[in-house]
Amino acid sequence: MKKYYYENILANQNYVAKPNSVWVADITSFELNENKKVYVFLCIDIFSNKILISIFKTKTITSNDIIRKLREVVEKRLPIRPRKEVILHTDRGTQFTSKTYNEFILSQEGFICSSMSRANTPKDNPVAERFIRTFKEHKINNKTFQQELFHQIEINSKFRGYRKIFNFYVKDLDLKPNTKSKIMSPERLDTDAQIASMLMTEPKLL
């Protein structure tokens, strides 16, 4: 099956001055027991580290799962064609090298410009890698997401409320100040910056 690759346009540009300049994404997994995992997809805006997309599944996340959510985010955050496309950076996972994903990227010309890490080079997606680590280490009531999963399963072997716990951790990260701003949360930083951007007058093109 043919795979589709993209140039590493991001080139380790890890800081931007405004939202909707660069989005980065990655997929990871968490253990439920020795034979079962759950899968997580996170996409953030690197301006604020706000989580734009969070997908949680007990089965492998597909290209279609990601595309469905990306369409929603594009419609919400990019209602009109921007002067400069948002760079969407990923690794070379099968979800991002598929024909389905490639067709989606082509359909988003003027809105999304796809960027991809080089082969076997995880350092090409450092912001996403670091944020996944941040998510895994983030604690609520002194428990990480993984620890809370184990805790709930230990209490009740038939527990299935994984998604609710996941959403709780996602929301908590968005509402607490982080390294991007010691004062404001990602949610507040993103909202204030977007409002400021809308109030600015764009220069006329000659």
Domains of the chain: 22-196 (3.30.420.10)
Q: Which residues contact 185 (CB under 8 A, 6 or more apart)?
A: 174, 175, 176, 177, 178
Amino acid 175: pLDDT: 96
Closest CA to 48 of 196, 191, 205: 191
Residue 123's alpha-carbon distances to 14, 51, 107, in angstroms, are: 11, 21, 28
Residue by residue, pLDDT tens for the chain (206 residues) are 899 999 999 988 888 989 999 999 999 999 998 789 999 999 999 999 999 999 999 999 999 999 999 999 999 999 888 778 999 999 999 999 999 999 999 999 999 999 999 988 878 899 999 999 999 999 999 999 999 999 999 999 889 999 999 999 999 999 999 777 778 999 999 999 988 876 655 545 44
Is the torsion defined by CA of 43, 162, 152, 185 positive or negative?
positive
Amino acid 142: pLDDT: 97
Tell me, rounded to whole angstroms, the distance of Cα 127 from its chain centroid. Answer: 10
Is the CB of residue 88 less than 8 Å from the CB of residue 23?
yes
CA distance 167 to 83: 33
Is the CB of residue 123 less than 8 Å from the CB of residue 89?
no
Interstrand relation of 139-140 and 112-116 (parallel, antiparallel or unpaired): unpaired
Helix, coil or strand: residue 200: coil
Tokens of 56: 């949680």
Amino acid 155: pLDDT: 94
